[in-house]
Chains A and B, each alone.
Chain A
Amino acid sequence: MRLIIFICALVPVLVGWAAEHLSPRIDKLIAAKAGGAVATRSDDSEFFRRVRLDLTGRIPSATDTRSFLQDTTSSKRAKLIDRLIASDAFATHWTDRLSVMLLERQKLGKITDEEWREFLAKNLKGKPRWDVLAQEMVGATGQGDERPAMKFLGTTDHHVMTENVARLFLGMDLKCAKCHDHPSVNEWKQAHYWGLFSYLNQTKTATNSKDKQTYLVEGVAMKKVDFQSVFKTEKEITGPRLPGGKEVAIPAFEKGQEFEKPAADGLPGVPKFRPRELLARDLTSKNNTYFVRNGVNRIWYLMMGRGLVHPLDELHTQNPSSHPKLMELLMREFVAHEFDVKWFVREIALSESYQRSSRFPNGVKKMEVTRYRTAHPKAMTPEQLLNAVLKATGNEGWVTKLKAMDNAEKFDQRGYFTGTNREMPPSFEEIRALFMLTYAEPAGTPEVDFIPGLNKALFLMNDRLIQDWLKPQKGNLIERLTKLETPKSIAEEMYLSMLARLPEADEIATIANYLERNNKRRAAALGDLAWALLTSTEFRLNH
């Protein structure tokens, strides 16, 4: 009898849990298509480094790793995930990620980087909603608290706007469809391009004569846009229309009746019909499956290193999702949870699919990356790499505080790379800029896949900042190591600090051997050992 009561009490809990939690359902659908053995669960070190990088952009300190490894609480992973998502570091890191994804490192418009970042961070500290963010960006006027969101549109080039909205919020790289139906993607039509365009083509900037600020305003839409394929002789026309949606009728007003508000303070009158405002509303609607799928796919990519649909801007039926049922589930749940980015990130992080080891299961030598049978190693972003290099070498404290003198001359960055400028960069800002010049893609290019390069390798190998950071100074890693006696303690401190794991016996032996052979140059030898880890694949990848 007691047992029955117990079971009765448990069933609703289990059912409720299953309905609520997405992560086990993710795992079920991934397992259904695995097609072979999956990797074991990541060990605590692997998980700890990965989840820290993904959620906060930073590798853990040796101390933090030690205490996580020693923690025997069974729910420690879930607790950690919650703590990290609630941290300011999450907001900072995801500001980097979303900013790079949406602006692609372009300097756009009048909104400063600081204002834009503050806007994103404020959202990320609360409940960031993908639909609301997108709505604020696409519909931005520059009025009110959401003013920084206008940075996304950035330009008054309606074609750039059209292409960015399509690519980043619908997963449609419609550039080709400007001049003709897409040549290889059958469902992407020229009419899609121009339908979006005609939502945006009334947008322009205007300056308020009182506050001198620039705003995005809309002119009066009078007629549909016409377009012509370079392969056809006849013209076509369209009004505002979303892919898969209905064309919006452009209302006709009697002369003088077009405006809701008259012109004032140098700003033109506010028309009654404002197509961009309608776009912001309808584009981001939960009924717009293109929008929902794109949002799901991009957040999944940020966590898993690969989109369910990949490339991210090729969302169409000829390039189907690797896991269609999972995609459907995620879309449904994302909508049901009001596009809550944090909720989604948390559910992914809690899944076994996310928490798998990046090591192959026993006996497996090769597997398809689309099956998620192991964790997919992700390249650290340029921001993550800079943070990780500084933290691993124990120089974060003093380097991030470096400031240029007020009267300092502009630092010659090009000369730094060619050798005509032999100065050290005077500030953290300049150091950051050198890293970005080396590791970031050129402005306007999506940073999605890992593109290693000669210059990137050479920088970590030979840059003089790196060499400097590997000399004992200011309490950094090498200085700490010089104070340790045994190879084991040295190896542990080095591996925990740099790779967030304990060294294996053979790795300790390698260190012992190297130090013995270099006993007359011990500090330098410690630098060599740390250099080897810093330039290693294990360090560079978030695995």
Chain B
Amino acid sequence: MNHIPHNHACGNTEHGVSRRQMLGTLGGAVGFGSLLQPGIAAEIKKQHKQVCLIWLDGGMSQYESWHPLPESKFGGPFRSIKTSIPGVHFSELVPETAKIAHKISVIRTMETKDPNHSTGVPRIQRGDPIDRGVIYPHLGSAVAKLLGPANPNLPPYLWIKPGNGGFIAKEAGFLGAQYGTLALGDGKPPIHIHRPDGVSAEVEAARNALRLKANERFKAYRGASEIDAYETSYAMARQLMARKEIFDDSKMDPKDKERYGTHPLGRHILQARRLLEAGVRFIKVNSYHWDTHGDNFNMSQRLIPQLDRPFAALINDLEDRGMLDHTLVIVMSEFGRTPIINSRLGRDHWPDCWSIALAGCGIKRGAIIGETTKDGAFVNGEGYDIGHLFHTIFTLLGLNPRKTRYRIKGQKLAIAHDDCEPIKEVMQ
């Protein structure tokens, strides 16, 4: 890029955002919905855009999934199978997705920079923007900030992950803790959204009425924004408490459970669907232990079907519900895996040429993008860096990454890498 960007400012958001916006994710922000001018169709449509990021932590092998090359020297033992797109093959480990390949796109020429987990995960999830000495938000926090909540009663950014959950601020980077994520440990919400033992619904209502009465009195002669912000945080808390059934997996249809799978990734993707239906703007679903340095093929045989079934089910369900048009689904990792099979029958980290799958929200149906060398080891021509993907995502969400800027203390910061462009080939 040869023009000097004027948007090189940096800083943080500690100040200068309105109190209501300040509530952000953790407060279940109320700001953006009400700021939109009513009646503007495009704006309303933007409000409905949602994202589900399925993150396979450690890195999934492209050879055993979206880009099988069984004939090549790097191919590995698995066969490739036909997909619903004539002439396109996936690995036999993704038979369900193969049936719906015409509904999704695959980019086979991701070419990113970082071969390390510790730096790669945040680097990829932040979109690897130009370094301005500040810590950029992860994608979910960015979307929470830029689009706000889709349903004003629900937090915009939830993260379903194995292990523990809680309120996790650090993903928000310079946006500030309030744009962090509410993580659902093994799909469970924080304990505090439950009414405490021994407090009946009736008592709960009665004591909140007492609280509101006290607040009304205090507020009557005062006007500080702190007062509104504090009250709003309680209103949000009560709304989330009232909707806690959306987290309750005992309420899930047994047939759905069977279709998605009873393993954690299946359950979590099913839960993601339910939360998307409830109107959560951005959901990240994490699966761990994809780092197959040893025994890649047995591990892939076990792991990849755990993605295949629920991913295909999710795409089908979103389409059946008329949601696929406004819901972007992304399946990715911090990198792919090496063409070369190491002495432990493993594949190591490979950012040079790897694959991701995308669907919905303006992603082409059935597009398989990217030329690689014959053995799949390298990109043939131009690859796509993560910055290109972020431009694509933001564009599909109705933002203009060339123009939209984070405004921090009156300064402007690009939301994605200045030198990248959307990947037009994958967009409708």
A binds B: yes
Q: How far is the CA of A529 from the CA of B207 in the complex (A)?
A: 7
Given A376-B224, A442-B169, A540–B230 Cβ distance below 8 Å? yes
Within 8 A of A (CB), among B125-183: 132-134, 155, 164-167, 169-170, 176-178, 182
Which residues of A are found within 8 Å of B234, using beta-carbon distances?
Answer: 457, 461, 535
- Establish whether residues A536 and B233, one from each chain, have CB atoms under 8 Å apart when the complex forms: no
Given A176-B133, A442-B170, A450-B229, A537–B215 Cβ distance below 8 Å? yes
Which residues of A are found within 8 Å of B275, using beta-carbon distances?
Answer: none
| Segment from A118-126, A267-275, A357-365, A476-484 that makes contact with B | A357-365
Q: How far is the CA of A540 from the CA of B14 in the complex (A)?
A: 21
Q: How many residues of B contact A (CB 8 A)?
A: 72
| Segment from A50-58, A248-256, A413-421 that makes contact with B | A413-421
Q: How far is the CA of A183 from the CA of B414 in the complex (A)?
A: 14
| Segment from A7-15, A238-246, A396-404, A462-470 that makes contact with B | A462-470
Which residues of B are found within 8 Å of A514, using beta-carbon distances?
Answer: 206, 210
- Establish whether residues B177 and A451, one from each chain, have CB atoms under 8 Å apart when the complex forms: yes
Q: How far is the CA of A456 from the CA of B178 in the complex (A)?
A: 11
The listed residue (B167, B192, B217) touching A461 by CB distance below 8 A is B192
Query: Does B38 have its Cβ within 8 Å of any Cβ on chain A?
Result: no
Which residues of A are found within 8 Å of B208, using beta-carbon distances?
Answer: 532
- Establish whether residues A467 and B196, one from each chain, have CB atoms under 8 Å apart when the complex forms: yes
B18-30 CB mask vs A (1 if < 8 Å, else 0) is 0000111011100
Query: Does B4 have its Cβ within 8 Å of any Cβ on chain A?
Result: yes
Query: Does A234 have its Cβ within 8 Å of any Cβ on chain B?
Result: no
A36-57 CB mask vs B (1 if < 8 Å, else 0) is 0000000000000000000000
Which residues of B are found within 8 Å of A463, using beta-carbon distances?
Answer: 192, 196
Q: How far is the CA of A365 from the CA of B221 in the complex (A)?
A: 8
- Establish whether residues A538 and B218, one from each chain, have CB atoms under 8 Å apart when the complex forms: yes
Q: Interface size for chain A: under 10, 10 to 19, 20 to 34, or 35 or more residues?
A: 35 or more
Can you name 17 A-B residue pairings with CB atoms under 8 Å?
A: A175-B10, A184-B411, A360-B223, A369-B224, A377-B224, A379-B230, A414-B166, A452-B23, A452-B27, A453-B27, A458-B193, A458-B240, A459-B192, A462-B196, A463-B192, A467-B197, A507-B217
B201-219 CB mask vs A (1 if < 8 Å, else 0) is 0010011101101110111
Query: Does A409 have its Cβ within 8 Å of any Cβ on chain B?
Result: no
Give the interface centre of B165, B199, B211 by most chain A CB atoms within 10 Å: B211
Which residues of B are found within 8 Å of A328, using beta-carbon distances?
Answer: none
Which residues of A are found within 8 Å of B176, using beta-carbon distances?
Answer: 445, 451
Which residues of A are found within 8 Å of B198, using beta-carbon distances?
Answer: 467
- Establish whether residues B410 and A451, one from each chain, have CB atoms under 8 Å apart when the complex forms: no
Q: How far is the CA of A415 from the CA of B164 in the complex (A)?
A: 7
The listed residue (B132, B170, B190, B229) touching A452 by CB distance below 8 A is B229
What distance in Å separates the Cβ of B344 from its nearest Cβ neighbour in chain A? 33
- Establish whether residues A541 and B227, one from each chain, have CB atoms under 8 Å apart when the complex forms: yes
Q: How far is the CA of A230 from the CA of B5 in the complex (A)?
A: 11
Which residues of A are found within 8 Å of B182, using beta-carbon distances?
Answer: 454-455
The 10 closest A-B pairs by CB, nearest first: A532-B210, A419-B191, A458-B192, A414-B164, A452-B233, A453-B26, A359-B221, A183-B9, A457-B237, A311-B15
Q: How far is the CA of A452 from the CA of B230 in the complex (A)?
A: 6
- Establish whether residues B190 and A455, one from each chain, have CB atoms under 8 Å apart when the complex forms: yes
Q: Given A184-B9, A230-B8, output 17 extra A-B contacts at Cβ < 8 Å.
A: A175-B10, A179-B132, A311-B16, A311-B409, A360-B221, A416-B191, A417-B164, A417-B192, A442-B169, A450-B230, A452-B23, A452-B232, A510-B210, A528-B207, A531-B210, A531-B211, A532-B207
